[in-house]
Structure 1
Amino acid sequence: MTKPVPVFDGHNDFLLRLLHAPERREELWLKGTEEGQLDLPRMKAGGFAGGFFAIWVPTPEAVGGTVDLGALDRAMNNPPFAMPLPAEVPYEQALPVAMAEVGHLLWMERTGTLSICRSVADIRAAMAAGRIAAILHMEGAEAIGTDLDALHVWHAVGLRSLGPVWSRPTAFAHGVPFAFPSSPDTGDGLTGAGKDLVRECNRLKIMLDLSHLNEKGFDDIAAISDAPLVATHSNAHAVTPSSRNLTDRQLAMIRESRGMVGLNYAVGFLRPDGLGAAFEGWDPVLRHLDHLIGQLGEDHVGLGSDFDGATMPADLRDVAGLPRLLDALRAYGFGEELVEKIAHRNWLAVLGRVWGE
């Protein structure tokens, strides 16, 4: 049997599953179940070599209630829609939740099956040893205070990638709501603290993730940052006009910075009609990849699944289906060199540029 091409992935929410079921983490990670979309056995079967493991803080009831996922699903199956999102989560409430999630990732490393990577050399070493190469990523900077002291603590723990927002606001920036059809131009840009955060991330060589930022926040980071512009899990607005997708103007700015976009598998950001229902076949995936490659070039497009955080296409219901995705790219006419670039080589190259290696 041919060994699968290694896949390095731009985004997953597996740590959230462990947060909700800490007593089951050995089963959920090491043994694997039919639940969710990720676990170690299915990663090995699918050729998942590593990626960005996100810390994400659910909204406590005290600050506006949890996101009503049922209402979101109903809205996404009846576009047009524009879903309001909860209020900002205070630092004091976010920090213990984020600490619990990174604790799970550190436990995963102690099992010997995963390495938290701080450099491209670390990633290559983990892949060569057969361990999952994990980048500690923060999706929304709620667990960082505006004095930025906590940013340095998180960096010492291993944080190497940061999205200033999930879609709700933070002290640093404003995100985009879940809306279709919608421009990403939905509100104000970075706050003063957000601009300081960008400069400090540049100094520490922490990658800034533009996914979930609104258009003004995107433009502010582009104006301030000296690093390549990266969106870890976003798609093309020209194909699917969701607020979460990137316009051609934004893609041109990413290309000019020698940055990167990771294709999001979430069906609502792939389907041209914005529906949140799973689809069969690969046409929406291929349409987005065609557009992204046309706008960015072959060296600046990768994969950013959103596994364990979204509804997946029917033919890619979990990580074990990655070889089918790569076979679909080959059948579409992508040569093996381009398949390998999309699968992992482009991610390692852009991380080298961001981290100064």
Structure 2
Amino acid sequence: MIPVFDGHNDFLQRVAAAGPQAARLWLEGDDQGHMDLPRLKAGGMVGGFFAIWVPSPAGLTDHAAVHAMENPPFDLPLPPAIHPDAALPHAFAQAAALLALERTGTLDIVRDAAGLRATIAAGRIAAIMHMEGAEAISDPDALHLWHRAGLRSLGPVWSRPTQYGHGVPFAHPSSPDRGKALTPQGRTLVQTCNALGIMLDLSHLNEAGFNDVARLSDAPLVASHSGVHALCESSRNLTDRQLRQIADSGGLVGLNFASSFLRPDGRRLPLEDLGVMIRHLDHLLAILGEEGVALGSDFDGALMPRDLPDVAALPRLIDAMRGAGYGEALIRKIACDNWIGLLERTWWG
């Protein structure tokens, strides 16, 4: 089985909600959501980015929003910003949930490239602590504290504004060129992340902010869970110009499995043909090359394709790559090795 290292999941929300049953949820599963340890093992997943994310008071699951996303065109308003004092308890709870998983002895929170490789070799799940939206980080001192706690990947925004920058709204059809550039605090955040070796994630960031990170950062540009705008005109997807900038930096894009970012019509309905995912991968490979393309599922955070309902179904995607003529070496790069190589170029050690 080809191993998979995944660029993004939202499993920690389920773990935090499980409370005292968190370890059991992880070790035994509950037939809910997209992930747990038995299904990770069945699907060949050896590790990934475990996201800390603060929910908006009114989310994208209310009836009106879901109806709009099922029937494009739509352009949902950005949720309001969340103050750090309100965000911090959510972030702490999810970080504590990841630590609880580590205490089971089946998962390690990895902090450097050597630890990442050692954990995978030992047969444990290699978890990168990622923060999707920096609401809980009030200032550079707080970022240093989170780094000490294990944070190694950070998206300055989710799809709402923070003190650092602006996210794209959920819209189709739409350009990602929505909203303002990074704030002065955002520019400082980029520099501090570079100094600490924290990977900056451009998924959800608007085009003006993307341009600022490309100008300011001395690390490879990364979008952990995004798709191709030329194939699906979602505001969340990347234009060919953005893809070329990522390629020029030696960076990487993890393909998002979310059906609405894959389907040409942008509808929030299950993708019915994994061949559409292959077309996104083909497009990414044509611009980024074989070392610049990976996977970024968004498990437990998005509506999955019909034939890829959870992590245990990952071999179906591997088989689809084989059916499209991808060789075993290229499949392994996309599934696992490219993320590890990117982190070795971004982190220290």
1:128 corresponds to: 121
Residues 262 and 271, structure 2, Cα contact 8 Å, conserved in 1? no
Q: Distance in 1 between matches of 2:20 and 2:63?
A: 26
1:82 corresponds to: 75
Instruction: Give SS of 2:291's match.
Output: helix
Is 1:169 aligned with 2:161?
yes
TM superposition shift of 1:73: 2.0
**Which digits, 9 at most, give the CA deviation of each residue in 1:60-85, with x for residues without a partner?**
4xxxx344443332111100000113
The RMSD of aligned alpha carbons is 1.0
2:323 corresponds to: 331
2:188 corresponds to: 196
User: Mean alpha-carbon deviation: is it higher for 179-188 or for 14-23?
Assistant: 14-23
1:160 corresponds to: 152
Q: Distance in 2 between matches of 1:48 and 1:270?
A: 22
Q: Distance in 2 between matches of 1:335 and 1:327?
A: 11
Q: Distance in 2 between matches of 1:44 and 1:329?
A: 20
Is 1:118 aligned with 2:105?
no
Of the three residues 91, 98, 101, the one matched with 2:91 is: 98
Residues 166 and 205, structure 2, Cα contact 8 Å, conserved in 1? yes
Residues 55 and 98, structure 1, Cα contact 8 Å, conserved in 2? yes
TM superposition shift of 1:19: 2.4
Please show how residues 271-310 of structure 1 align to structure 2 within 5 Å: 271-310=263-302
Gaps of 5+ in 2: none
**Which digits, 9 at most, give the CA deviation of each residue in 1:187-245, with x for residues without a partner?**
00100000000000000010000000000000000000000000000011000010000
Residues 60 and 66, structure 2, Cα contact 8 Å, conserved in 1? no
**Which digits, 9 at most, give the CA deviation of each residue in 1:119-157, with x for residues without a partner?**
121111111111100000000000101x31110110000
Q: Distance in 1 between matches of 2:155 and 2:264?
A: 26
Q: Distance in 1 between matches of 2:321 and 2:268?
A: 23
Instruction: Give SS of 2:114's match.
Output: helix
Residues 275 and 320, structure 2, Cα contact 8 Å, conserved in 1? no
Is 1:11 aligned with 2:4?
no
TM superposition shift of 1:246: 0.2
Q: Distance in 1 between matches of 2:250 and 2:48?
A: 20
Q: Distance in 2 between matches of 1:66 and 1:311?
A: 15
Count residues in correspondence: 349
* 1:195 to 1:173, Cα distance in 2 relative to 1, 3 A: same
Of the three residues 255, 258, 263, the one matched with 2:247 is: 255
Gaps of 5+ in 1: none
1:269 corresponds to: 261
**Which digits, 9 at most, give the CA deviation of each residue in 1:276-301, with x for residues without a partner?**
11133312101100100011111100
TM superposition shift of 1:356: 4.1
Residues 67 and 85, structure 1, Cα contact 8 Å, conserved in 2? no
**Which digits, 9 at most, give the CA deviation of each residue in 1:284-340, with x for residues without a partner?**
101100100011111100000000000000110000001111011011100000000
TM-score (norm 1): 0.96
Q: Distance in 2 between matches of 1:253 and 1:127?
A: 31
**Structure 2: which amino acid aligns with 1:58?**
P
Residues 22 and 100, structure 2, Cα contact 8 Å, conserved in 1? no
2:18 corresponds to: 21
TM superposition shift of 1:23: 3.5
Of the three residues 151, 155, 173, the one matched with 2:143 is: 151
**Which digits, 9 at most, give the CA deviation of each residue in 1:251-287, with x for residues without a partner?**
0000000000000000000001101111333121011
Q: Distance in 2 between matches of 1:181 and 1:69?
A: 21
Q: Percent identity?
A: 61
**Structure 1: which amino acid aligns with 2:109?**
I
**Structure 2: which amino acid aligns with 1:117?**
V
Q: Distance in 1 between matches of 2:279 and 2:48?
A: 24
Q: Distance in 1 between matches of 2:64 and 2:192?
A: 38
Instruction: Give SS of 2:24's match.
Output: helix
Of the three residues 68, 72, 90, the one matched with 2:65 is: 72
2:222 corresponds to: 230
Is 1:355 aligned with 2:347?
yes
Is 1:344 aligned with 2:327?
no
